[in-house]
Structure 1
């Protein structure tokens, strides 16, 4: 029995060294993450009920809400009845079945469609994961099938997403919660590599942040799969459904507004580019250092498709014609943003893969890492974020200025990227120490050159 106990002890010691206990919190700790878990679904639903035909516009008719509250205050409240009606409003069994079928379709496409295998960055345990990159092939097949369906049965056949919007939100949130719970439970199995930021021992916090770094079922990597396929492709199909709904209301595709086409072209271009460049995903912070928990699962399955598409849904019932000049200026903004975003990312990805065709200057740190200090990456530490923000703004401008709700995406995205920049700065300061101070002196601007 002694040798067995020794092996068990060695295994535990090896596990604790490889997976050290997380000693610091983000997002204000367990209470902060618990608050975010409650608030995120409320915001997603709120963007619908706060900006829809059903509630009287964008923003909604507040007089109806105020009168309802006043009535409640003067009579007994049927809590069970209110809860039942609310759940009946949020739950749609048919939407749930559609969503599950779509998710299963994405999994089958991952398994059967051809794609190259890409090696990720070496992990702490010395292993290198291999990812199957065929998200763009899945996108093309999905677009072909959807287009054939719409051509055969007309745009009215693809408007069900618009009419079942709330049911699809609920389905995605349920899926996100189930997946986060599944990977959290599985993270306690022996031999799992944990995320350095998600091993605090607090169940609420670790469930939210993500305890295991790369949860997988065989060769199926759950985190990277969710990041693109049922996230971005769903977003694209929501936009297409919104355009179909507008086409039905306006009497055909020839009458779809230029504002809707700008949003549709800009967002689907962005989505297609991300899917085409899928291998670049495997070098991002999400894959390299973040665990997969509720934060990421609800973010990619619910938040991205249903909050990033608010502009297209708004244009269904607030139809706007912009004219050639305004449309051209907005499209120019989009493609300038895309050019900055793609060129800067290409520079980074080529450099990380040992290539330097532009002979860019770099700073070599004591750890052996190399940090770019010229080209796009000499102008700011995150020039790709600037391109992202310009594109985000170009998707909101077609909605006009009648409501701030359609500018939620650019507002949220600005906060997200600033927060991500600060997380990255903190991570690099710990990793590179004095070399990071030298780097920041050489590249002083964080996102916008000469501004921030």
Structure 2
């Protein structure tokens, strides 16, 4: 078997079932281990209380997308067809949800301990929901697709893992906005706040735990403020709705992205208050830099390249490419400002922020740093995945761009 054949076998035949089996079970196992014996044990189907909470969050997510309001139209899919539409009320949804959560915890603080105790059962309910939903997306996308697109036949498990359609809709809403923005990220926000209150009840007030949660809250608020910009990213425009995206947002985000805050309940922070404040300053710096780099790209796009960045005329490479129906289009690849330092400098600031909300767990082993380690691996993998797609799209212009901005992540190193 040649190297390419071996790579294809790993990519299409062996990798997906291995990932599905290990990650699906691994998230729930991690919840049991991270609970330090203070939570309920392993669960397969969840409990009545767990299903009530998951169902309520699903309904709340759907209601936010059914409410009449401003609509955002995303970019046309690469295979053609109508441009996807999204509900543009993310920040309002985030603020109302967070305030309701805080009010509920103020009135009934012991609810936080109840949620913390049944967290493995909540993840079990999420798992059943996500696996069932991904199976539905596979069946609909394979035999009754909503869009006309020719796809190369792949092993069934790979199609389940990857997904079949880029912009499927269910109950009148976009699937990826529902799972990514309205369920997964909101669950992340609500859970870290709940875990902070649970930790306060069990261990007393902790500045370090507060810093961990505050930085995540500011980060998520920034995301929801910029939510419509997210609909222009490769995650939304090119990735298909399947296990990788939808299960990831329904189960992996609530179960793993919250792990540092969850871990600090059973393992109280040991760093000093002044150390926690330094972590907060580092995190705020990372958030500011991250916002600035995102702003530069949006500002550049909004002005079609006719703007100043860092008090100088923006520099860019004019790239032409062919759409699925052989029509020529033009894009501008920014090479000014932060985007002229490295091609993915935004990922450096993402990692810097993640490290800052993990550091409150310093001295408690590697548990609080699991998400930071995972995100480092994920983003490095994403760099190569995204650049493969960009090279296929832009061809020689992408080569010119890489020559103009030679470093992928860290200037002078990688």
Partner of 1:268: 217
Please list the CA deviations of residues 185-228 of structure 1 after superposition, one character each: whole Å capped at 9, or x if unmatched: 111355633788x6434211111101111111364111122111
1:40 is aligned to 2:49: no
Unaligned runs of 5+ in 2: 1-6, 322-329
1:409 is aligned to 2:358: no
Please list the CA deviations of residues 38-86 of structure 1 after superposition, one character each: whole Å capped at 9, or x if unmatched: 0112221232233222189xxxxxxxxxxxxxxxxxxxxxxxxxxxx98
Q: Is the 8 A contact 1:195 1:291 kept in 2?
A: no
1:326 is aligned to 2:275: yes
Match of 1:299 among 223, 230, 248: 248
Structure 1 residues 194, 322: CA separation in 2 closer, same or farther (over 3 Å shift)?
farther
1:316 is aligned to 2:316: no
1:446 is aligned to 2:408: yes
Q: Is the 8 A contact 1:195 1:213 kept in 2?
A: no
Cα deviation for residue 422 of structure 1 reads 0.1
Q: Is the 8 A contact 1:195 1:211 kept in 2?
A: no
Match of 2:85 among 103, 127, 130: 130
Q: Is the 8 A contact 2:43 2:121 kept in 1?
A: no
Between the aligned partners of 1:222 and 1:355, the Cα distance in structure 2 is 30
Between the aligned partners of 1:262 and 1:411, the Cα distance in structure 2 is 19
SS in 2 for 1:212: coil
The normalised TM-score by structure 1 is: 0.82
Match of 2:33 among 50, 56, 59: 50
**Which range moved further: 128-137 or 286-295?**
128-137
Between the aligned partners of 2:404 and 2:149, the Cα distance in structure 1 is 31
Displacement over 6 Å in runs of 4+? none
SS in 2 for 1:187: helix
Cα deviation for residue 425 of structure 1 reads 1.3
Between the aligned partners of 1:30 and 1:338, the Cα distance in structure 2 is 39
Between the aligned partners of 2:235 and 2:410, the Cα distance in structure 1 is 23
Q: Is the 8 A contact 1:310 1:406 kept in 2?
A: yes
Please list the CA deviations of residues 115-173 of structure 1 after superposition, one character each: whole Å capped at 9, or x if unmatched: 421110022324212211222222222122222222223x2123222011101111111
Structure 1 residues 378, 27: CA separation in 2 closer, same or farther (over 3 Å shift)?
farther
Partner of 1:142: 97
Cα deviation for residue 289 of structure 1 reads 0.8
Partner of 1:17: none
**Which range moved further: 380-389 or 325-334?**
325-334
Partner of 2:173: 220
Aligned runs of 1:30-429 on 2, under 5 Å?
30-54=13-37, 91-112=46-67, 115-123=69-77, 124-153=79-108, 155-189=109-143, 192-193=146-147, 199-217=152-170, 219-250=172-203, 255-356=204-305, 357-358=307-308, 359-367=313-321, 368-429=330-391
Between the aligned partners of 1:88 and 1:129, the Cα distance in structure 2 is 37
How many residue pairs get aligned? The number is: 394
**Which range moved further: 93-102 or 234-243?**
93-102
Partner of 1:436: 398
Coordinate RMSD, CA, aligned: 2.3
Cα deviation for residue 274 of structure 1 reads 0.8
Bigger Rg, which one: 1
Between the aligned partners of 1:407 and 1:126, the Cα distance in structure 2 is 43
**Which range moved further: 101-110 or 346-355?**
346-355
Between the aligned partners of 1:187 and 1:195, the Cα distance in structure 2 is 10
Between the aligned partners of 1:283 and 1:241, the Cα distance in structure 2 is 32
Q: Is the 8 A contact 1:194 1:212 kept in 2?
A: no
**Which range moved further: 372-381 or 86-95?**
86-95
Unaligned runs of 5+ in 1: 1-23, 57-84
Cα deviation for residue 321 of structure 1 reads 5.0
The normalised TM-score by structure 2 is: 0.89
Between the aligned partners of 1:54 and 1:232, the Cα distance in structure 2 is 27
Between the aligned partners of 1:218 and 1:262, the Cα distance in structure 2 is 38
Please list the CA deviations of residues 258-279 of structure 1 after superposition, one character each: whole Å capped at 9, or x if unmatched: 1110111001111111111110
Q: Is the 8 A contact 1:340 1:383 kept in 2?
A: no
SS in 1 for 2:82: coil
SS in 1 for 2:142: coil
Q: Is the 8 A contact 1:181 1:207 kept in 2?
A: yes
Between the aligned partners of 1:352 and 1:137, the Cα distance in structure 2 is 25
SS in 2 for 1:192: coil
